Amino acid sequence: MVFPKGFLWGGATAANQCEGAYDVDGRGLSRMDITTAGTLTERRQVTYTYPDGRTGKGLTIPTGAHGAVLPGEYYPNHDGIDFYHHYKEDIALFAEMGFKIFRMSISWSRIFPHGDESEPNQKGLEFYRNVFEELHKYGIEPLVTISHYETPLYLEEHYGGWNNRKMISFYTHYAETLFKEYRGLVKYWLTFNEINTTIMFLEMLGGKADDAAYQQAYQQLHYQFVASAQAVSIGHQISSDNQIGCMICGIVSYPLTPDPQDIMKNRHAWEQNIFYSGDVQCFGEYPTFSKRLWDAHDVHLDITDQDRADLKSGTVDMYTFSYYMSSTTTTHAVENDAQGNFSIGAKNPYLQYSEWDWADDPAGLQYYLEVIYDRYHLPLMIVENGLGAVDKVGADGSIHDPYRIAYMAEHIEAMEKAIANGVDLVGYTSWGCIDLVSAGTGQMSKRYGLIYVDRDDAGNGTFERRKKDSFYWYQNVIQTNGAAV
């Protein structure tokens, strides 16, 4: 048996993609509530006009403006899959699959509607307490992401979001509230979802970002690192049971050719996209190559001695990451670019691509696990992995998704190989274990779930849940602790 006893099998979600109930029980707006459907690039084209006359586009919210929900626009996150009202039914289904762990996030603006209050919203706290208690009824451990792409909108508008150092104390107050409130109910925590995308998205989505954009992103990331480190220290003080992880977007990058220039470029891509964030959070200090990264864009950071001390004392207990695909890097001109919203670089001729142009690369997962474990020597957890695909409901209500089963099976086999090679992998939560709204496109039709939800891209549907073939397959995988892949 390769998978260790007690291996944490489960599934993963995020509040803004599944909860819905965006204006219920005192919840404030988050930045995701003004995010329409469409690719990330298209979303930036939605122009908001604010009461003070300024305009903002989609996800880019101007400092000091007043964000709003626009009439006539469709916001898929407002209803999500209505997990807020279906959580008992959903958790019962997770339990039926045999989940040992369930990854979810807390909506910051449900706890602090504006973000800068001193007292939390009791209704918000109560909702998550109910969810955690429901999970424990079935022996499922919650794994909680404190911030998953949804800063309260008020903090964006009135403080400039993560451009402002004050965000550190707003975040740590929020995190401390959670650690205290859920002591004894939650012991696995992640501070920021895919923290490294703050920089990575500039490279992948912006294309030709200027130095000012890099200056801003590196500074935002620094404040997030400090906030994360302080939260880790606070979490450890509140309970020695707490195990707190970083969460890194783990897109593996390969050199497209054996040209030494491509090898070098690829190494630098790993440093910028993965190791920069991993090193700060796992080692507690900026790596030597930081200087090169900063100099490349004339970046000068506001870093204090106290920040450095905080980073050093707040290193994480585990390294967790998402893994969906690999990409390529080259210094040569390429013609066949992958078009997927998170994919960059030339298509790899050795790999197949999904309907959304994401490269299917299980060997990349083994590669990543081995590289990362060798570097950090921390327990690893894969907290997102899965296939976004269009599913069809048959006349009899069945949903046959052999493509999803094949994708998950080959990735679980890759995990087995890494474990056999000595990697300390402690858990796996498949992404979107229940269908939910895509973060990249706002689509419902890009389905990851083992459980189908009756909801379409235009917001029609009953929210009825149905088991897909992959539901039964995963149930068997868990029952046999990975032997029956």
User: Binding to ligand BG6 by residue 442, rule CB under 6 A?
Assistant: no
* Out of 206, 379, 440, 461, the residue judged to bind ligand BG6 by CB under 6 A: 440
SS3 label, residue 400:
coil
* Out of 384, 391, 401, 435, the residue judged to bind ligand BG6 by CB under 6 A: 384
Do residues 255 and 330 lie in contact, with contact meaning Cβ atoms separated by under 8 Å?
Answer: yes
369 closest CA partner among 417, 432, 317, 430: 417
Helix (H) or strand (E) holding 455: none
> Which residues is 189 bridged to in the sheet?
144, 244
Binding region for ligand BG6 (CB under 6 A) out of 26-34, 66-74, 159-167, 431-439: 431-439
Among residues 160 and 440, whose Cβ is nearest to ligand BG6? 440
Q: Residue 266 Cβ, how far from ligand BG6 at the closest point, in Å?
A: 21
Task: Tell me the number of residues near ligand BG6 by CB under 6 A.
Answer: 14
Structure token pair of residue 225: 């690192």
Q: Among all residues, whose Cβ is closest to ligand BG6?
A: 440
What is the spatial distance between Cα 272 and Cα 278, in angstroms, rounded to a whole number?
Answer: 10
Phi, psi of 230 (to 5 degrees): -65, -40
* Out of 35, 193, 196, 220, the residue judged to bind ligand BG6 by CB under 6 A: 193
What is the spatial distance between Cα 110 and Cα 115, in angstroms, rounded to a whole number?
Answer: 9
* Out of 14, 21, 178, 231, the residue judged to bind ligand BG6 by CB under 6 A: 14
> Which residues is 255 bridged to in the sheet?
329
Residue 413 bears catalytic tag: no
Among residues 299 and 338, whose Cβ is nearest to ligand BG6? 338
Among residues 14 and 91, whose Cβ is nearest to ligand BG6? 14
User: Binding to ligand BG6 by residue 147, rule CB under 6 A?
Assistant: no
Do residues 412 and 477 lie in contact, with contact meaning Cβ atoms separated by under 8 Å?
Answer: yes
Do residues 145 and 106 lie in contact, with contact meaning Cβ atoms separated by under 8 Å?
Answer: yes
User: Binding to ligand BG6 by residue 206, rule CB under 6 A?
Assistant: no
Among residues 374 and 456, whose Cβ is nearest to ligand BG6? 456
Q: Residue 200 Cβ, how far from ligand BG6 at the closest point, in Å?
A: 10
Relative orientation angle of helices 402-420 and 469-479, to the nearest 10 degrees: 20
SS3 label, residue 454:
coil
Catalytic pick from 384, 410, 413, 416?
Answer: 384
Look at the block and give the residue holding tokens 């909108």: 153
Helix (H) or strand (E) holding 253: strand 252-255
C-beta neighbour count of 360 within 10 angstroms: 18
Catalytic pick from 134, 141, 157, 194?
Answer: 194
C-alpha neighbours within 13 Å on the C-beta side of residue 429 = 30
Residue 335 bears catalytic tag: no
* Out of 222, 347, 446, 467, the residue judged to bind ligand BG6 by CB under 6 A: 446
User: Binding to ligand BG6 by residue 198, rule CB under 6 A?
Assistant: no
Binding mask 321-360 for ligand BG6 (x = CB under 6 A): -x--------------------------------------
Query: Which residues are at the interface with ligand BG6 (CB under 6 A)?
Result: 14, 17, 193-194, 249, 322, 384, 388, 431, 438-441, 446
Residues serving a catalytic function are 194, 384
